[in-house]
Amino acid sequence: MIRLFFLPLLFFASTVLGQTKDRKASWEEMIETGSHQTALAEIEEFTQSLINQKQYDSLPEYLEIYGRILLANSPEKDASDQLLNTYQTWENLSKSPKFQRLLVKSLADWYEYVGNPTAAYKHTLTALEWAKKESPKSEEVFSNLYLNLGGLAIQNMDLPAAKKHLNDFLSLDLSQADPENTYFANSYLGNISYFNSNLDSAGFYYQKSIEAIDKLEPTPRNQFYRKSIILNNLAGVQMAQSDFDAAEQSMNLTISYQEKYLAADLEELEKQKVLQGYFRSMDNLAGLYRQLGSYHRAKQLLEFSFQRKSEEFGNQDLETAKSRILLGQVYYDMIQMEQSREFLLEGLKQMQELEEESSYWQADAINTLARMEDYLQNEELADSLYRKAKTIFDQEVQGDYDVIYLDFLKNFSKFLAENKKMDEAIQLSTLARNYLADVGSENLYLDYNQTINQASIYELGQNYQMALKYTSDALSQIDLLIARSKSPKDSIQAMFLKSQPILIRNRSRYYLEEVDEALLKSIEKELREGLKIIDSQSDFLFEPSDVSIQLDVNREYFEFLELIELELYQLSGEESYLDRLLAYHEHARYRKIRSRLQKNQQVHFGGLPAEILNREEELKEQLRQSLQAEVTDLSAYAKANSEWKAFLDTLKINYPNYFQLHFETSESVLARVFSKLNPEITYLRYLNVGEKWMLLIIQENEKKLISLSPIPLTRTLETLAEQSSKNKIQPAILHELYNLLWKPAEPFIRTQRIAVIPEGLLFNLSFETLTKVPVSDWADLADHFLLLEHSFSYQYSLLFLEEQATSKYEDQLVAFAPGFFDGMKKTYSASFMDQQFLDIDYLKLLPQPFTRRLVEQISSKFEAKTYLEHGSTLMNFKNEAGQSRIIHIGTHAISSNVNPGDSRLVFAKSAENPLDPNELFASEIYELDLSSELAVLLACESGKPSYSPGEGMISLAHAFNYSGTKSLLMGLWKIDEQASVSIAADFYDFLEDGLPKDEALRKAKLNYLAKAKGRALDPSFWSGLILLGNPEPVTLETKQSFWPLYAALLLGIVFLAWFFKKKFSGN
């Protein structure tokens, strides 16, 4: 289960706030207008008169407002001390249980008002004890107290106490005609249902709460504040149900209502409380973006929230501590470990210094630190942190396991199994299963999750017999889920769970039994049946994140299936097994791209008419409706599915790019690709299947599969990645990689031009730098590297070798170069009166003088449109880049391999509208028309950082490819600006000569090396610039010069003048 970082906003029934009695209203007005000293004198005189007249029963009504008046006149601690003294004085005036109950409840209301829910809960419990002594007893009194205790317990994260109080509340016979009670009851029930992961019930109760609010007096507090609280909680439910559209709408409404309420005339303390809720809503919206994988946007929101909390509440407030935890977690998501650790440790330190309750937050932070150390392979430290988190969680849940804790147990037990602590792993996983059995849980999904976890743990412990037993149990639970399903949709969703037990079952069979062809065929048959379930799931993936639920499981599924196909091919030699291996391998990579696009609801696709998109949504809605809970048969689904398939046929014919991106199978694409490959190019597809490394050589429709040395290759690639991250590549490693990657293929390579389709860590490598002999100095590299003999292009998948249609272009070349010079930044900074809105990252961008100079050079030589400095805006790029033979982009780029959709190009800030966006995200490129033969991305860090090699580059390249760009010249890593500009200038010259793009790049690099000296020979300076995509030539014409024509015309005029002068002289 995905850990939901949702922050519930809680509210409590206050018996005093909002009362409209004249006297209290007068004092509240005095507080607001600054006459708080007068208010203090009046209330002390009035309450003393009540005491003198022995009207003690009226005193409790004024204790809370007295506290607020004291607070307006004194610091909070002094006000609290004085109020407590007054309470103790009044407490001795009467022994009446009713008086004592009202008085202590008024004190509890005061503590709730100043934000101390622990003290408020304690004193409300005392009020309950006094209520039990009253005679006669009032159900209305008990209902209010139970509701208030339940809410306070939830705020204190004391869920067992909250459940007890709310069960006591439910046992009372309440009047449903009272909308106030209905509002509170349904709100608290929604909270409890949420924390127990009963999401449908939580959503039901929250909707009932909103209906009750609509029946209350339409005050700002009811219509804006209370609704914002419920909508925030409802958004949490919708997030957990993966209904991100609805969740975003609810969160936006929440923030809108809070802003409207903040605009009302509020007391300062209440304003501060509402501001807390406002910032928590921003944190929740950031949580939504984290769920969607938009970590960059989530980070921006969390940073803004943190900054504003610091300004409003100071750096030592619990809310700012929570922000530090959240920022630490989003940095962990982004694999920025140092920043993550710093924020998490600061947040923990701050929480431990505060007196307010924050144990649950601390456990969550420590859990993230444990996951971080696990990722960094510091197993001992991770183990210690997991145990510390467990201790705190245990104290908080007190034997009542919520879904979050059950998920923690599952993950911790899996960690223990991965680190060979099998007994403890089994104990923890069994603890979770036994808990579900003891409480009589009828949630089969929870039970299934723990069962499949146990199967996974036994598989990790190589106890394959037990793994087979638990996969059998899991499959039986799925069958029971299907049998109990009340609708076809529920049944189908249960069916989709089968892929994981099928995978664990067959991996266990593979390692348990003697491997022969018969066993491999049996396993392949069962896995391919399971694959039908996975593939059919795409017919039901209407929600954006549904694919991601299965993504990790499917990755392992494809890897194992590929291993089986490989072994069957090696045993039988039948090419059909090799073709299936390739199809599954490419499908897995493409599926990752598809899933990310389906998760991101902000992605729009260009070249597709609005009516087609509307028709797609209409048909999806029909399929949804055909599977609703009230539907009892599949006839409606069969009809809707038939229309859907007919629609796909239309897409395939009329909009092939969109169809291939979203729906086409890998097998059909590969069949077309293999039939149309360029015979002058040798294609090298490197494959990592399980622990094996293979090389597929494709040349003139011949396929040759070669086994590589997996252990030394993996070790050497890891060394290369480490050296690359430190920018200290050692020359010797290039010869090692030559022997491991190139030499096995050399006897079969018959062409000068090479196309490489890398895998994993190979995205760190520029193949042209591999050396035939060991070299110790970069000066010797040019005599021995592969660039001397071969030109190289790259592709991120065999699927994208398919030839694209030829286009007609309106322009030859369009170029963009923001430059990011100091003058631009000064102009941008000067446009803001309030400096807090400045984009600090923009101001830190390095100037790019060489890039600008190159654009001026090529625009003077070739027919080109150029956009420099302030003209190089995102808006101009969107309007002008398409339908040009070459698009040249000289800017900064940021490649995110953790969330490739966040990879982006940075343009100039608009001088007229500095708040306009200036970053083009990869996910936004899909909607643009960037039809071109070549896009040149001379950008700082346009390729990738060291983590998850190639994902960010793939994201940018794929987006450009979909938008019509046939090839890209781009950087694999952070490249030297001067070197890349020098190579690009020569590259353009060789393109003008008619050379293929890969050969033009080869000659340009050789030219650079012939002139380079010293450290400029280091491959990190120049080899990262690669060609990705179609390597064929692109026509490039120089500007037509009219000087020869002008000279000839001038000579003609001079000749005619001379001729006529001579003639007239003769006459």
Average pLDDT, the chain: 80
Tokens standing for 109? 């209301």
User: Is residue 543 predicted with pLDDT exceeding 60?
Assistant: no
Two tokens at 778? 């970069």
Task: Say which amino acid occupies 567.
Answer: E
pLDDT of 16 over the 50 cut: no
Mean pLDDT of 710-717: 90
- Cα 941 to its chain centre, rounded Å, is 21
Q: Are 666 and 586 in contact (CB under 8 A)?
A: yes
Q: Answer whether residue 447 shows pLDDT above 80.
A: yes
For residue 1060, give the amino acid letter. Answer: F
Report the pLDDT averaged over residues 345-374: 90
Helix (H) or strand (E) holding 815: strand 811-817
Cβ neighbours of residue 703 closer than 8 Å, sequence gap 6 or more: 575, 578, 696, 697
Residue 665 pLDDT greater than 70, yes or no: no
Q: How many CB atoms lie within 10 A of CB 794?
A: 26
Q: Look up the pTM and report it.
A: 0.62
Which of the two residues, 861 and 985, has the higher pLDDT score?
A: 985
In angstroms, the CA 119 to CA 156 distance is: 10
As a whole number, mean pLDDT of residues 315-325 equals: 91
Confidence of residue 258 (pLDDT cuts 50, 70, 90): confident
* Other Cβ atoms within 10 Å of 367 Cβ, number: 23
Does residue 11 register a pLDDT over 80?
no
Tell me the percentage of the chain whose pLDDT exceeds 90: 21
Specify the DSSP class assigned to residue 763: G
Count other Cβ atoms within 10 Å, centred on residue 69: 25
Is 50 exceeded by the pLDDT of residue 542? no
Is the link from the previous residue into 179 a cis peptide, with omega within 30 of 0? no
Token output for 922 = 């990869």
* pLDDT attached to residue 468: 95
Mean pLDDT over 101-121 rounds to 89
Beta-ladder partners of 694? 687, 707
Report whether pLDDT(969) > 60. yes
Residue 502 scores a pLDDT above 90: yes
Q: Do the Cβ atoms of 562 and 581 come closer than 8 Å?
A: yes
Contact residues for 23 (Cβ-Cβ < 8 A; gap 6+): 46
Find which of 492-501, 664-673, 826-835 is predicted with most confidence, using mean pLDDT: 492-501
pLDDT given at position 10:
42
Tell me the sheet residues that pair with 473. none
* pLDDT of 396 higher than 50: yes
Q: Which range among 36-45, 71-80, 821-830, 1032-1041 shows the weakest confidence by mean pLDDT?
A: 1032-1041
Q: Diameter of the chain by CA atoms?
A: 143
Determine the average pLDDT of the residues in 1036-1050: 61
Q: What is the pLDDT of residue 411?
A: 84
Topology (CATH level 3) of domain 810-1029:
Rossmann fold (3.40.50)
For residue 459, the model assigns a pLDDT of 94
Q: How many CA atoms lie within 13 A of 433 on its CB side?
A: 18
Higher pLDDT, 834 or 557: 557
DSSP, res 869: G
> Mean pLDDT over residues 318-333, rounded?
92
Give me the pLDDT at residue 545, please: 36
Tell whether the model's pLDDT for residue 20 goes beyond 50.
no
More confident call, 640 vs 103: 103
pLDDT tens column, 56-98: 888 898 888 888 888 888 888 888 889 899 999 999 988 899 9
pLDDT digits (tens, 9 = 90+) for 868-919: 888 888 888 888 887 788 898 888 877 665 555 567 888 888 777 777 778 8
Q: For 159-219, what is the HEC assignment?
A: HHHHHHHHHHHHCCCCCCCCHHHHHHHHHHHHHHHHHCCCHHHHHHHHHHHHHHHCCCCCC
Per-residue pLDDT reduced to its tens digit, 260-283: 888 887 777 778 888 888 888 888
Of the listed ranges 184-193, 559-568, 710-719, 860-869, the one predicted with least confidence: 184-193
User: Could you tell me the pLDDT band of residue 1044, with boundaries at 50, 70 and 90?
Assistant: low
Are 886 and 1034 in contact by the 8 Å Cβ rule? The answer is yes
- What is the rounded CA–CA span in Å between residue 374 and residue 433? 25
Residue range 340-345: mean pLDDT, rounded: 95
Answer for the pair 508, 467: CB distance below 8 angstroms, yes or no: yes
Does 999 have pLDDT greater than 90? yes
Could you tell me whether strands 1025-1029 and 967-971 are parallel, antiparallel, or unpaired per DSSP bridges? antiparallel
Question: Does residue 747 carry a pLDDT above 80?
Answer: yes
Closest C-alpha among 872, 898, 901 to residue 887: 872
pLDDT for residue 1065:
61
Range of weakest confidence among 73-82, 105-114, 533-542: 533-542
Distance between CA 848 and CA 81 in Å, rounded? Answer: 63
* pLDDT at 694 > cutoff 80: yes
Number of C-beta neighbours around residue 364 at 10 A:
22
Could you give the residue ranges of the DSSP H alpha helices within 220-317?
A: 220, 227-240, 244-262, 268-292, 295-313
- 1029: tokens are 């995509």
